[in-house]
Structure formats: C-alpha cells, structure tokens
Amino acid sequence: MNVGYLIHLENDPYEQIREAAALGFRYGQLSVWDMAYHTEESAERILAACRDFSFTVTAVWCGWSGTADWRYPGMYRTLGLVPDDLREVRVKDILGGAALAARLGVKDIITHIGYLPDDPLNETRMAVVRAARHICEQISKNGQYFLFETGEMIPTTLIQFMTEIGLPNVGVNLDPANFVINGRANPTDAARRLAPYIRGMHAKDALPPVGTAPKGREVKHGEGVVDFAQIFSVLKAAGYGGSVTIEYEMKNTPDRREELLSSKAYLENLISSL
C-alpha cells in the first residue's frame, strides 16, 4: 500500500499535480466537478504532469451537475443519482469523467451514488440500479470499473446494490470516515464486510454525531474514531495493495500544508508497521 492525495481540479491540472509531487506524493486521485476538464487538452496537460513529476493517477472521482446539498436533510434528495430530474444529466456527467479517465489510462472511476433506501423494491433504488448498470456497461468497453464511495448506505445495502447491478466491473472506494459522519457503520466492521469489493480508499478521520445532531464531523488524522491500523490490517489480509488516498476537506485550516505532511507521515508509519 502507498499513501496518495486527492486533488480537486480547480485550476491548471499541471500545476496542481506539481504541487502534490512537491509534497512527496507520487499517487493520487483526481476529483473532477467541472465538466470543462472533460477534454483532450486537459488530459494532455495531466499526462504531461504525470510524466514530468513521476505521478500516477489511480482513479478519477466523477462529480455531477445540479444542486448538491451535503447537509441534513437535503442530502437525502440531492446527491448522486437519486434525484429523478437530474439522473439523466448526471449519468452523462459521470460518463464524461470516465472518458477523461480513459484518456489517462485510468481504470477506476468513483462517485457518491446517493442515499438509497434498504428496500430493494423501492422505485428510486430500482431506477438508480438501472442507471448504474448503464454506466457499467458503457465503461466496460474501456475495461473500467465503477466504484461507489461509502457512507450513504449501510454495508449490506451497498453489497446488495452492487449485486442488483449484476455486472463484474463494480467496486468500492472505502471512506471509513463517511461511515462515522453519517452514523452508518463501524468503519472497521464495514471494511471487513466490503473487503472483496475494495479497489480504492480515502483516508480521513471523523467523530460521530453527538446527541440529536444528524451528522458527525471530520477531524485531523489520529483525532477521530477511525482505527486506521485495524483497517490497514483488514486490507492487507484481503490482498489490497493500492493507494490510501488522503482526502482533506477542512479547507480553511491555516496550516493545511503541514497537516497534510503530518497525515502522510502518520499513515505511512502505520502501513510500514504492518
């Protein structure tokens, strides 16, 4: 396993990859919410940076158009492929991200699928299954996998969802902190349950909801309840040898650079001690 970094494409991809490499990262996912990056020119810029800075893109995180409210209770109706009125355009957005990934030679694409109910006969869930199946069918032509970021569904529901899609090119991008923030599962137990499907991982830490609060919150690595040592042991036992990708969403932190380096060292130390 190696420690990577999630780069949110916002400016020049070449410069953003250069900055990540300057921090010592050689692997990373690209988070793409602006569809203007779905171009050959962007792909060439990214590939040039990867060559110049010995950087490997491990996955493309595909964002989508329209309102996305990550807060309670809007999160239930606005995220992923759940909204009926946005599903078609968001499928196109994800396929655009997959096309960018194909230009980069990247086999894994990731997204948040949204908050789906446990009931397999729920009409919205069945519609999302059909949409996800269509995406899987299309990207299979390029040998790509569609990974679902964890956190909205309990692990058993996520497994059933993938089973309902019925295609082999599905998988999981494990985000243990999302399970904590949303109160969906103990992250170590979830890792064990999902281990056969895990093709990527986000490393962030979190504290669970307190009292009547509907959501928990992200904290610095090592200050939350995510047991990275145990999760890494689970992943190693399952044969996972990919990246542990730092996702750092506390954007207003003044010491962001130092905290990234500290998190990188913390995670690398845990991995080296396995």
Q: Residue 243 forms beta bridges with which residues? A: 2
What is d(CA 215, CA 29) in angstroms, rounded to the nearest whole number? 26
Q: Is residue 128 predicted with pLDDT exceeding 70?
A: yes
* pLDDT (tens digit per residue) in 13-26: 999 999 999 999 99
Q: Is residue 250 predicted with pLDDT exceeding 80?
A: no
Indicate the average pLDDT of the chain.
97
Q: Is residue 253 predicted with pLDDT exceeding 80?
A: no
Single-letter code of the amino acid located at 119? D
Confidence class for position 251, pLDDT limits 50, 70, 90:
low
**Mean per-residue pLDDT, 116-138:** 98
* pLDDT (tens digit per residue) in 154-186: 999 999 999 999 999 999 999 999 999 999 999
Query: What integer pLDDT is reported at residue 99 of this predicted model?
Result: 99
Q: Is the dihedral of CA 79, 85, 91, 96 positive or negative?
A: negative
* pLDDT (tens digit per residue) in 255-270: 889 999 999 999 999 9
**Three-state SS annotation for the chain:** CEEEEEEECCCCHHHHHHHHHHCCCCEEEEEECCHHHCCHHHHHHHHHHHHHHCCEEEEEEECCCCCCCCCCCCHHHHCCCCCCCCHHHHHHHHHHHHHHHHHHCCCEEEECCCCCCCCCCCHHHHHHHHHHHHHHHHHHHHCCEEEEECCCCCHHHHHHHHHHHCCCCEEEEECHHHHHHCCCCCHHHHHHHHHHHEEEEEECEEECCCCCCCCCEEECCCCCCCCHHHHHHHHHHCCCCCEEEECCCCCCCCCHHHHHHHHHHHHHHHHHCC
Contacts of 199 (CB under 8 A, 6+ apart): 108, 145, 147, 171, 172, 173, 242
Q: Is residue 248 predicted with pLDDT exceeding 90?
A: no
- The residue segments making up the domain with residue 9 are 2-272
Token readout for 26 is 């050689």
Single-letter code of the amino acid located at 39? T
Number of domains comprising the chain: 1
Q: What is the CATH number of the domain that holds 74?
A: 3.20.20.150
* pLDDT (tens digit per residue) in 35-64: 999 999 999 999 999 999 999 999 999 999
* pLDDT (tens digit per residue) in 181-238: 999 999 999 999 999 999 999 999 999 999 999 999 999 999 999 999 999 999 999 9
Query: What integer pLDDT is reported at residue 256 of this predicted model?
Result: 84
